[in-house]
Amino acid sequence: MQRLYLTSYRFRGDLDDDDLQDLTKKFAEVGQSPDVMAHYVTLDGRGGFLVQSAEGDPEEGYRTTLQYGPWIEFESTPVTTIEEAFPVIQSVYG
Protein backbone atom coordinates (compact mmCIF):
# COMPACT_ATOMS: atom_id res chain seq x y z
CA MET A 1 0.00 0.00 0.00
CA GLN A 2 1.43 3.35 -1.02
CA ARG A 3 1.15 6.09 1.58
CA LEU A 4 0.62 9.59 0.26
CA TYR A 5 -0.08 12.83 2.07
CA LEU A 6 -3.03 15.06 1.27
CA THR A 7 -2.17 18.55 2.46
CA SER A 8 -4.89 21.16 2.53
CA TYR A 9 -3.91 24.77 2.91
CA ARG A 10 -5.82 27.97 3.57
CA PHE A 11 -4.63 31.54 3.30
CA ARG A 12 -4.65 33.30 6.64
CA GLY A 13 -7.79 35.40 7.09
CA ASP A 14 -6.06 38.70 7.82
CA LEU A 15 -4.12 38.99 4.54
CA ASP A 16 -4.43 42.19 2.53
CA ASP A 17 -3.49 42.86 -1.11
CA ASP A 18 0.14 43.63 -0.20
CA ASP A 19 0.41 40.33 1.68
CA LEU A 20 -0.99 38.43 -1.31
CA GLN A 21 1.47 40.17 -3.62
CA ASP A 22 4.30 39.13 -1.29
CA LEU A 23 3.00 35.55 -1.29
CA THR A 24 2.84 35.53 -5.09
CA LYS A 25 6.46 36.69 -5.27
CA LYS A 26 7.49 34.05 -2.71
CA PHE A 27 5.78 31.28 -4.71
CA ALA A 28 7.52 32.44 -7.91
CA GLU A 29 10.83 32.29 -6.01
CA VAL A 30 10.39 29.11 -3.92
CA GLY A 31 7.82 27.04 -5.80
CA GLN A 32 6.68 23.83 -4.13
CA SER A 33 8.38 20.83 -2.57
CA PRO A 34 9.81 18.32 -5.05
CA ASP A 35 7.61 15.58 -3.55
CA VAL A 36 4.38 17.26 -4.74
CA MET A 37 2.63 14.97 -7.22
CA ALA A 38 -0.42 17.18 -7.82
CA HIS A 39 -1.42 20.69 -6.75
CA TYR A 40 -4.99 21.97 -6.90
CA VAL A 41 -6.38 25.36 -5.91
CA THR A 42 -9.88 25.94 -4.59
CA LEU A 43 -12.09 28.08 -6.79
CA ASP A 44 -13.13 30.19 -3.82
CA GLY A 45 -9.61 31.66 -3.90
CA ARG A 46 -8.88 30.74 -0.28
CA GLY A 47 -6.43 27.87 -0.60
CA GLY A 48 -5.85 24.50 -2.17
CA PHE A 49 -4.68 20.90 -1.86
CA LEU A 50 -1.43 19.08 -2.48
CA VAL A 51 -0.91 15.37 -3.03
CA GLN A 52 2.58 14.51 -1.87
CA SER A 53 4.75 11.42 -1.96
CA ALA A 54 5.64 10.01 1.45
CA GLU A 55 9.13 9.36 0.14
CA GLY A 56 10.11 13.03 -0.10
CA ASP A 57 12.83 14.62 1.98
CA PRO A 58 11.18 15.76 5.26
CA GLU A 59 13.76 18.51 5.74
CA GLU A 60 13.02 19.99 2.31
CA GLY A 61 9.26 19.81 2.91
CA TYR A 62 9.64 21.46 6.31
CA ARG A 63 11.80 24.22 4.82
CA THR A 64 9.16 24.94 2.18
CA THR A 65 6.38 24.96 4.78
CA LEU A 66 8.27 27.43 6.97
CA GLN A 67 8.80 29.78 4.03
CA TYR A 68 5.03 30.01 3.47
CA GLY A 69 4.10 30.16 7.17
CA PRO A 70 3.42 33.91 7.31
CA TRP A 71 0.61 33.57 4.74
CA ILE A 72 -0.70 30.00 4.83
CA GLU A 73 -1.99 27.43 7.35
CA PHE A 74 -1.38 23.76 6.47
CA GLU A 75 -2.97 20.47 7.51
CA SER A 76 -1.65 17.09 6.28
CA THR A 77 -3.39 13.71 6.37
CA PRO A 78 -1.91 10.36 5.30
CA VAL A 79 -4.01 8.81 2.49
CA THR A 80 -3.98 5.99 -0.05
CA THR A 81 -6.17 5.06 -2.98
CA ILE A 82 -9.47 3.25 -2.44
CA GLU A 83 -8.15 0.50 -4.72
CA GLU A 84 -5.34 -0.18 -2.27
CA ALA A 85 -7.42 0.35 0.87
CA PHE A 86 -10.47 -1.71 -0.09
CA PRO A 87 -8.87 -5.18 0.28
CA VAL A 88 -7.84 -4.23 3.82
CA ILE A 89 -11.33 -2.89 4.54
CA GLN A 90 -12.81 -6.16 3.26
CA SER A 91 -10.45 -8.26 5.36
CA VAL A 92 -11.51 -6.40 8.50
CA TYR A 93 -15.22 -5.86 7.86
CA GLY A 94 -15.86 -8.63 5.34
**Residue 52 and residue 22: Cα distance in Å, rounded?**
25
Q: What is the pLDDT of residue 31?
A: 95
Of 64, 40, 65, 60, whose CA–CA distance to 50 is shortest?
Answer: 40
Q: What is the pTM of this model?
A: 0.86
Q: What is the pLDDT of residue 56?
A: 84
CB atoms within 10 A of CB 85: 12
pLDDT < 50 stretches in the chain: none
Choose the CATH number for 4-93 among 3.30.70.260, 1.20.950.20, 3.30.950.10, 3.40.50.2030: 3.30.70.260
**pLDDT per residue over 51-63, tens digit each?**
999 998 889 989 9
Q: What is the pLDDT of residue 41?
A: 98
